A and B are shown apart, each in its own frame.
Chain A
Amino acid sequence: QIQLVQSGPELKKPGETVKISCKASGYTFTDYSMHWVKQAPGKGLKWMGWINTETGEPTYADDFKGRFAFSLETSASTAYLQINNLKNEDTATYFCARSSSYLDYWGQGTTLTVSS
């Protein structure tokens, strides 16, 4: 069955770096793009961007340009989200989601807490 399994919760300090993984199984990884979505505590869903799993080319929403980086390890069917120079406002749950226009399969979410 199709699954996206994300890495576990993270507790970081401001200024640190985090890398969240999203391992796909049950389908051909390069047949679908991978998207990332942020959900701050008690808030709605915010689209961060996507990565072309065939070419590795990332596209970022305006609010996520600069400190955020999407990457792939295609041989391991895994997508990554790296956030550099963490800020308190990065505290959120981050989801990966497979896309074929709509987001049909989602990871379970990775909770990131940024606190000094």
Chain B
Amino acid sequence: DIVLTQSPASLAVSLGQRATISCRASQSVSTSSYSYMHWYQQKPGQPPKLLIKYASNLESGVPARFSGSGSGTDFTLNIHPVEEEDTATYYCQHSWEIPLTFGAGTKLELK
């Protein structure tokens, strides 16, 4: 199974600053055309919400302050500028093979 290691487990960022979350896969999840890595946001009591698909493609309706990058085994989710409503837990997930797996999550709080 592919293990996804997210870091940090939690971070506190000031309003308007940048939040950077990393996700490292135990093996490559990229081809020359696609990276099978996706990012989700989950707020308490709600289901996860898709933010970024295929590493860097913003899901429709998601604010442009969210961006994703990376390929192979190393991926990053950036949020800039951070707004109050961005306090949530963020998860990466691969779809390279079955079983799908998720990272352990990164909890974003405001300073």
Q: Dominant SS at the A interface?
A: strand
Q: Are A47 and B100 in contact (CB under 8 A)?
A: yes
- CB pair A104–B91 under 8 Å, yes or no, is no
Q: Which of A47, A49, A104, A108 contacts B101 (CB 8 A)?
A: A47
Residue among B47, B50, B59, B91 making CB contact with A108, cutoff 8 Å: B47
Q: How far is the CB of A89 from chain B (nearest CB, A)?
A: 18
Question: Is the CB–CB distance between A103 and B93 below 8 Å?
Answer: yes
- The answer to whether B72 has its CB under 8 Å from any CB of chain A is no
CB contact under 8 A between A104 and B100, given known A44-B91, A44-B105: no
**Majority SS of interface residues in chain B?**
loop
Whole-angstrom distance between the Cβ of A44 and the nearest chain B Cβ: 5
Nearest CB on A from B11, distance (A)? 16
Q: Is there contact, CB below 8 Å, between A109 and B47?
A: yes
Q: A106 and B53: CB pair below 8 A?
A: no
Q: Once bound together, how far apart are the Cα atoms of A59 and B102, in whole Å? A: 17
Q: Are A103 and B48 in contact (CB under 8 A)?
A: yes
Most buried by A among B47, B48, B99, B104: B47
A104 x B59 contact (CB < 8 A): yes
Contact indicator A35/B100 (Cβ below 8 Å): yes
Number of interface residues of B (CB under 8 A): 23
Closest residue on chain A to residue B60 by CB atoms? A104
B54 at the interface (CB under 8 A from A): yes
B69 close to chain A: CB less than 8 A: no
Asked if B95 is at the interface (CB within 8 A of a chain A CB), the reply is yes
* Pair B54/A44 contact, Cβ less than 8 Å: no
**Residues in B neighbouring A101, C-beta threshold 8 A:** 36, 38, 53-54, 95
For the complex formed, measure the closest distance between the CB of B69 and the CB atoms of chain A, giving whole angstroms: 16
List which A100-116 residues lie within 8 A (CB) of chain B.
101-104, 106-109
Which single residue of chain A is at the shortest CB-CB distance from B53? A102
**A2 CB, nearest partner CB in chain B, Å:** 12
User: In the complex the two chains form, what is the Cα distance from A80 to B95 in whole Å?
Assistant: 22
Contact partner of B50 among A35, A103, A107, CB < 8 A? A103
Chain A residues with CB under 8 Å of chain B are: 35, 37, 44-47, 49-50, 59, 61-62, 95, 97, 99, 101-104, 106-109
